[in-house]
Amino acid sequence: MLKIKDEGIILEKTNLEFENKAVLNPACIQVDDMTHMFYRAINHNDISSIGYCQLVDNKVVKRLKEPVLFPEYDYEEKGVEDPRITLLEGTYYLFYTAYDGNNALIAYATSKDLIHFTKHGIISPKISYDKAEDIFRESKVRERYRMFEMFYKEVVGKDILLFEKDASLFPRKFGGKFVLLHRVLPGIQIIKFNDFSELTEDRWRDYFKNLGDFVVFDPFYWFENYKIGGGCPPIETKDGWLIIYHAVEDTPLGKIYHATAALLDRKNPLRVLGRLTEPLFSPKAPWEKSG
C-alpha cells in the first residue's frame, strides 16, 4: 500500500536572478542521509535553468546561488527544464527537457559528484509531426497518437518536432542494456539500447514503426483522459518496479494534473502488474489548483 504524507512547501523562489519567478518540478536522489534536489528554476524572462540544494529531513541545509545547468546551446536557449536523475553503475545520469521556444526535446548530462555535470546533447528524435504521420500509421498505436500529431501539426505548425519529455532511466540494466522511459504523447514508452550513441535518427525511425510494441501505459482512467507522463525514475521494490507518473484530466474548466502509480515486472518492465484506478493524490489547496 502506498501512503502519502503532505509535507507542505519545502522550497520557494528567491530574489536570485535565475530563480526569481518560480521553482518547481524537482528531481531528487538520496545518498546516505542527504537528499540532493535538482529543481527547475524560472526567471522573470521565463527562461528555465536547473538549481541545486541539499535537504535533511525535508529541510534545506545547503542551496547553491547559481544553477548547475543553464541554457548554453541553440536547442535549449529558452530553457533547460524538468530534470530527472538516476544513479547507474557509478554515474549519475540527469535527463532534462531542452526547449528552444518551439521544440521540446530530451537531453542529458552526467556527473560523478552531483555538482559538476557534462552535457551530452539531444538524444530524442528530430522528426517533425508532419513526417511522423506516416510512421505512426503503421506503428500499431492507438488513434490518440495520431490525434496529437494532427493537433500539433495544425496548431503549432507542420515542422514542429515530436514533443519528447519526461525521460528517466531505470537504475539498472536489463541484459546489459540501458532502459529508458520516455513520453511521446499521449502515453509512456520504453526504449532499450547498449549505448547512447545508438540513438540515431535511423534507430528512432525504426523504433517508431513498431512503437505499439513498446508502449508501457496509455491514458485509460477518468483522471488521465488527456495524457500521461513520467514522474520520478523507476523505484525497485521486492514486488516490482514502482512507477509514479502524472495524469492529466481534461475538464470543461481546464486541465487537472493528478499523481498516480503503477507496478511493472522486475524482469520485464513492459509487463504491467498493477495500476491505480484512482489518483494517488490530486490538487486540493488553492495554491495547487492555480499558478
Could you tell me what percent of the chain has a pLDDT over 70? 99
Q: Are 136 and 211 in contact (CB under 8 A)?
A: yes
CATH topology of domain 9-122: Tachylectin-2; Chain A (2.115.10)
Give the model's pLDDT for residue 134: 79
Query: Band of the pLDDT at 136, cuts 50, 70, 90?
Result: confident
Q: With 70 as the cut, is the pLDDT of residue 1 above it?
A: no
Only one residue has cell 475538464, namely: 251
Give the residue-averaged pLDDT of 159-168: 91
Give the residue-averaged pLDDT of 91-115: 97
Give the model's pLDDT for residue 287: 73
Average pLDDT of the residues of the chain: 94
Q: Are 154 and 188 in contact (CB under 8 A)?
A: no
Task: Please state which of the ranges 82-96, 111-125, 145-159 shows the lowest mean pLDDT.
Answer: 145-159
What top-level class would CATH report for the domain 123-291? mainly beta
Which phi-psi region, left, alpha or beta, contains residue 182 (left: φ > 0; alpha: ψ -120 to 50)? beta
Query: Band of the pLDDT at 170, cuts 50, 70, 90?
Result: very high
Q: CB-based burial of residue 171 (10 Å sphere; 0-12 exposed, 13-18 middle, 19+ buried)?
A: middle
Q: With 90 as the cut, is the pLDDT of residue 132 above it?
A: no
Q: For the whole prediction, is pTM greater than 0.85? A: yes
Q: With 90 as the cut, is the pLDDT of residue 89 above it?
A: yes
The three cell numbers locating residue 183? 513520453
Give the residue-averaged pLDDT of 10-27: 98
How many C-alpha atoms does 251 have within 13 Å on its Cβ side? 11
Q: How far apart are the first and last CA of the chain?
A: 31
Report the range out of 59-68, 121-130, 250-259 with the highest average pLDDT. Answer: 59-68
Query: Residue 245: beta bridge partners?
Result: 230, 260
Q: With 90 as the cut, is the pLDDT of residue 153 above it?
A: no
Q: With 90 as the cut, is the pLDDT of residue 130 above it?
A: no
CATH 2.115.10.20 residue ranges of the chain are: 9-122, 123-291
How many C-alpha atoms does 174 have within 13 Å on its Cβ side? 15
Q: At CA 38, angle to CA 34 and CA 40, rounded to 5?
A: 150
pLDDT tens for each residue of 63-82: 999 999 999 999 999 999 99
Give the residue-averaged pLDDT of 232-242: 98
Better pLDDT: 57 or 139: 57
Give the model's pLDDT for residue 290: 63
Q: With 70 as the cut, is the pLDDT of residue 222 above it?
A: yes
pLDDT tens for each residue of 274-287: 999 999 999 988 77
Give the residue-averaged pLDDT of 225-253: 96
